[in-house]
Structure 1
Amino acid sequence: MTMRELLDAQRAAFMAELPVSLEARRDRLKRAIAMVSDNAGRLCDALSEDFGHRSREQSMITDVAASVGPLHHALKHLKAWSKPARKPVMFPLGLLGGRGSIEYQPKGVVGIIAPWNFPVQLVMSPLSGVFAAGNRAMVKTSEYTPAVAALMADLAAGYFDPTELTFVSGGPDVGKAFAELPFDHLLFTGATGIAKHILHAAADNLVPVTLELGGKSPVVVGRSADVAQATERVALGKMLNAGQICLAPDYMLVPEEKEGAVVDGLVAAASRMYPTLLSNPDYTAVINDRHYARLTDWIEDARAKGAEVIAVNPANEDFTSSNSRKLPLHIIRNPTDDMMVMQEEIFGPVLPVRSYRGGIEEAIGEVNRRDRPLALYYFGQDKAEKRAVLDRTISGRATVNDVIFHVSQEELPFGGIGPSGMGAYHGEIGFRTFSHAKAVYSQPKIDVAKLAGMKPPYGKATQATIRRQMK
Structure 2
Amino acid sequence: MQNSYKTIKQAYQASPFPDFNERKGWLQQLKKLIIENEEMIIEAIDKDFTGRATFETQIAEIYPSVKAIKHAENNLSTWMKPEKRKVSIWFQPSKAKVIYQPLGVAGLVVPWNYPLYMSVAPLVCALAAGNRSMLKLSEFTPNFSELFATLVEKYFSKEVITVINGGPEVGAEFTALPFDHILFTGSNRVGKMVMKAASENLTPVTLELGGKSPTIIDENYSIDDAAQKIMFGKLLNAGQTCLAPDYVFLPKGKEQDFIDACKKAAQKYHPNWNGENYTAINSDKQFERQEALLQDAIDKGGEIVYLNNDAAEKTDGRKMSPALIIQSLESMLIRKEEIFGPLLPIVTYQNLDEVIEYVNNNPRPLALYFFSKNKANINKVLTHTISGGVTLNDVILHVSQETLPFGGVGNSGMGHYHGYDGFKTFSKAKSVFKQSALAGTRLMYPPYSKFAKFLYKIMRGS
TM-score of the aligned structures, taking structure 1 as reference length? 0.96
| Structure 1 partner of 2:249 | 253
| Structure 1 partner of 2:366 | 374
| Structure 1 partner of 2:290 | 295
Q: When the two structures are aligned, how many residues end up with a matched partner?
A: 461
d(CA) in 2 for partners of 1:315 and 1:141?
40
Q: Secondary structure at the match of 2:437?
A: coil
d(CA) in 2 for partners of 1:301 and 1:14?
51
1:409-465: CA deviations, max 9, x gaps?
1111111100001001111111111111111110111364422x1x22222244235
Q: Secondary structure at the match of 1:92?
A: helix
Q: How does 1:301-450 map to 2 (within 5 A)?
A: 301-314=296-309, 319=314, 322=316, 324-357=317-350, 359-446=351-438, 448-450=440-442
Pairing 1:180–2:170 present: no
Residue number among 438, 444, 454 corresponding to 1:464 in the alignment: 454
Pairing 1:218–2:208 present: no
d(CA) in 2 for partners of 1:142 and 1:15?
29
Q: Extract structure 1 runs of 4+ deviating beyond 6 A.
A: none
1:69, distance to aligned residue in structure 2 (A): 0.8
Kindly tell me: are residues 176 and 469 of structure 1, through their superposed partners in 2, closer, same or farther at Cα, counting changes over 3 Å?
farther
1:314, distance to aligned residue in structure 2 (A): 2.5
1:382, distance to aligned residue in structure 2 (A): 1.0
Residue number among 226, 239, 243 corresponding to 1:243 in the alignment: 239
Kindly tell me: are residues 102 and 334 of structure 1, through their superposed partners in 2, closer, same or farther at Cα, counting changes over 3 Å?
same
| Structure 1 partner of 2:14 | 16
1:281-303: CA deviations, max 9, x gaps?
11000010111011111101101
Q: Secondary structure at the match of 1:415?
A: coil
1:129-179: CA deviations, max 9, x gaps?
111111110000001111111000000011000010010011111111111
**Contact 1:276–1:314 (Cα < 8 Å) also in 2:** no
Letter in 1 for 2:213: S
d(CA) in 1 for partners of 2:418 and 2:198?
22
**Contact 2:328–2:335 (Cα < 8 Å) also in 1:** yes
1:92, distance to aligned residue in structure 2 (A): 2.4
Unaligned segments of structure 2, at least 5 residues: none
TM-score of the aligned structures, taking structure 2 as reference length? 0.97
Q: Percent of counterpart pairs with the same letter?
A: 39
**Contact 1:275–1:314 (Cα < 8 Å) also in 2:** no
1:257, distance to aligned residue in structure 2 (A): 1.9
| Structure 2 partner of 1:205 | 201
1:315, distance to aligned residue in structure 2 (A): 8.2
Q: Secondary structure at the match of 1:281?
A: coil
Letter in 2 for 1:101: K
**Contact 2:180–2:204 (Cα < 8 Å) also in 1:** yes
Kindly tell me: are residues 148 and 470 of structure 1, through their superposed partners in 2, closer, same or farther at Cα, counting changes over 3 Å?
same
1:111, distance to aligned residue in structure 2 (A): 0.5
Q: Structure 1 stretch 398-407 or stretch 361-370: which is displaced more?
A: 361-370
Residue number among 271, 287, 306 corresponding to 1:275 in the alignment: 271
1:19, distance to aligned residue in structure 2 (A): 2.8
| Structure 1 partner of 2:45 | 47
Q: Secondary structure at the match of 2:255?
A: helix
Unaligned segments of structure 1, at least 5 residues: none
Kindly tell me: are residues 46 and 468 of structure 1, through their superposed partners in 2, closer, same or farther at Cα, counting changes over 3 Å?
farther
